[in-house]
Structure 1
């Protein structure tokens, strides 16, 4: 009974947080600018072509990715560690680059490394941002304790976030649905190029990718498409963005009225039709359609038992699609697990890297 009540309390916390931020509209809504017009049509066409041709085949044709060599400056340095910040031009293909806001076309990363340890004896994990995770600090705090295990942390600032946020966007509330797909496409291409740089030019012994929530979806996609085995650690992640935006608490933060108005003249769109179109568009992010990673044993999902943002079945579908992967359950909701379970997340990263041996 105590465990049941505790689980309900975590679930209630998610809904309380969601009510404050979404239902009461104390924060801006997502997609007040509508679907995205020509950008949306372009992205739908590109993604459908990729799925038809086969993601694995297309990924192999586009490997290696464009060269990325960040320009670095040292942020701070101690006896045992160094933190550097780098900038680079996004390696996205021209059609995607041109659709990105000018502010998002320059990438930023921070690299936290142990000192006096040869690269080939170290590992490095790329940390991708969850919804609302601007800047670097949250993920650097997650990666910091891993330094003692000779695990470096590379934090990528997402397009549309932090210094890469376009004018007119408030916080993490993307203006158009197409922005969400552009954010994901650019994040995946940038992550793959950075991993290639870490492997070929920096010479790290093992590599991994992780992310929380939205970052976990992107991490799973990167792990799927990378041509070499990676430790892939999606944290509190759905199998598709549709599960988060159409079924979880986040659905109450969407500007459905603006989305209906955007299409109403041509399609007479109702709320139900808007939700159906959203599910169709976001089905393009369905990770179960992606290839199984090269070493599925090095894939460790961490899910929360009482997550109000991510339906439990969503994680189960993802695990079923990658049957040799592992799912670890932590007690909590989406919000409380993000706060309370960093040690479990860190252990999953360590174990994923060990399975690359």
Structure 2
């Protein structure tokens, strides 16, 4: 009974936080400028072409490798035990995607935290991808820092539309158009795939992994699914699709449904229910269960919350069923409280997934 009451308290904490951030409209809403017009058409067309390739494939389908990236590194600080570097690179996504990006997002930014006393050949590195609202590097560097003693380095990617890559007219993490969410995801995936190749070929790291919280977990799963060799894959507090977060979870209350109904670039006079169905269809393009099973599913560890108000339990279970051999670990809490309280469980999952490679 006590555990049940604690779980309910965590669930309601998510809803209280969501009410303050979304229902009471204390912060701008997502997609206040509508669907995105031609940019959304482009992204849907690209997704449709990939779906045709996937349907025609006789084995696991695979995207072509993105062009190589060549980050220019500067050392931020160095101690006897660790070194922090920051790097910048031109996004490796193809020309049509680059033209769809805001100018501020053309240059990618990464941070790399490495142990001093171990060579890369005897070390691992995990690439951490951003969750919703995670601007900059510090939060994910803090998560990865305790892993240095296990010779696990941390690379942090700043996503397009976030931090220094955020368009000036965008309020915080509130993306202006639905197309921005798809574009953020597709470019993040291409950049992450290129960075993993850099870590292996140029960085010389022995074992690799990719992780992320919430939205970052969805992106991490996609990246791990498409990587040609076995890597650790760690989706934390993540749904199987962005449609779950925006159409079922608390983020639906932070969505500008009225602006989407009134968007003249789309059909006029759509009802709210029609707009919601349209959103489900568009964000269904992010359904990771339609991606290939990673090369080493036993090195996939989901960490999910028992009382998550943003991510319903059925979505996590659907995700895990699509990848037989993967593992789910449940932590007691909601989305917000688990994000704050369970870093040690996330770190333990990273150590264990790397050890399974």
TM class by smaller structure: over 0.9
Q: Which digits, 9 at most, give the CA deviation of each residue in 1:219-278, with x for residues without a partner?
A: 000000000101000000000000000000010000011000004873421111110000
Partner-residue secondary structure (3-state), 2:132: coil
2:298 alignment partner in structure 1: 297
2:46 alignment partner in structure 1: 46
Q: How does 1:65-214 map to 2 (within 5 A)?
A: 65-214=66-215
- Structure-2 separation of matches of 1:127 and 1:285: 19
Q: Which digits, 9 at most, give the CA deviation of each residue in 1:120-159, with x for residues without a partner?
A: 1000000000000000010000000000000000000010
- Structure-2 separation of matches of 1:98 and 1:287: 26
1:4 alignment partner in structure 2: 4
Q: How does 1:10-29 map to 2 (within 5 A)?
A: 10-29=10-29
- Structure-2 separation of matches of 1:36 and 1:114: 43
Compared with structure 1, are the counterparts of its residues 178 and 54 closer, same or farther at alpha carbon in structure 2 (3 Å cutoff)?
A: same
1:333 is aligned to 2:329: no
Partner-residue secondary structure (3-state), 1:73: strand
Compared with structure 1, are the counterparts of its residues 159 and 61 closer, same or farther at alpha carbon in structure 2 (3 Å cutoff)?
A: closer
Partner-residue secondary structure (3-state), 2:267: helix
When structure 1 is superposed on structure 2, of 47-56 and 15-24 the one drifting more is 47-56
Partner-residue secondary structure (3-state), 1:238: coil
1:322 alignment partner in structure 2: 323
1:62 alignment partner in structure 2: 64
2:33 alignment partner in structure 1: 33
Q: How many residue pairs end up in the alignment?
A: 355
- Structure-2 separation of matches of 1:343 and 1:116: 23
Q: Give unmatched runs, 5+ long, in structure 2.
A: none
- Structure-1 separation of matches of 2:52 and 2:25: 40
Compared with structure 1, are the counterparts of its residues 122 and 35 closer, same or farther at alpha carbon in structure 2 (3 Å cutoff)?
A: same
Q: Give unmatched runs, 5+ long, in structure 1.
A: none
- Structure-2 separation of matches of 1:301 and 1:105: 31
Partner-residue secondary structure (3-state), 1:54: helix
Report the Cα offset of residue 202 of structure 1.
Answer: 1.3
- Structure-2 separation of matches of 1:58 and 1:174: 33
Compared with structure 1, are the counterparts of its residues 341 and 119 closer, same or farther at alpha carbon in structure 2 (3 Å cutoff)?
A: same
Q: Which digits, 9 at most, give the CA deviation of each residue in 1:38-84, with x for residues without a partner?
A: 00001001001101111888964613x21111001111111100000
User: Do the aligned residues in 2 keep the contact of 1:50 with 1:58 (CA within 8 Å)?
Assistant: no
User: Do the aligned residues in 1 keep the contact of 2:63 with 2:226 (CA within 8 Å)?
Assistant: no
- Structure-2 separation of matches of 1:156 and 1:91: 14
Partner-residue secondary structure (3-state), 1:43: helix
Report the Cα offset of residue 201 of structure 1.
Answer: 1.4
Q: How does 1:187-336 map to 2 (within 5 A)?
A: 187-263=188-264, 266-336=267-337
- Structure-1 separation of matches of 2:281 and 2:46: 15
- Structure-1 separation of matches of 2:330 and 2:64: 36
Partner-residue secondary structure (3-state), 1:292: coil
- Structure-2 separation of matches of 1:159 and 1:120: 30
- Structure-2 separation of matches of 1:61 and 1:165: 27
Compared with structure 1, are the counterparts of its residues 151 and 273 closer, same or farther at alpha carbon in structure 2 (3 Å cutoff)?
A: same
Q: Which digits, 9 at most, give the CA deviation of each residue in 1:178-226, with x for residues without a partner?
A: 0000000000000000000111111100000000000000000000000
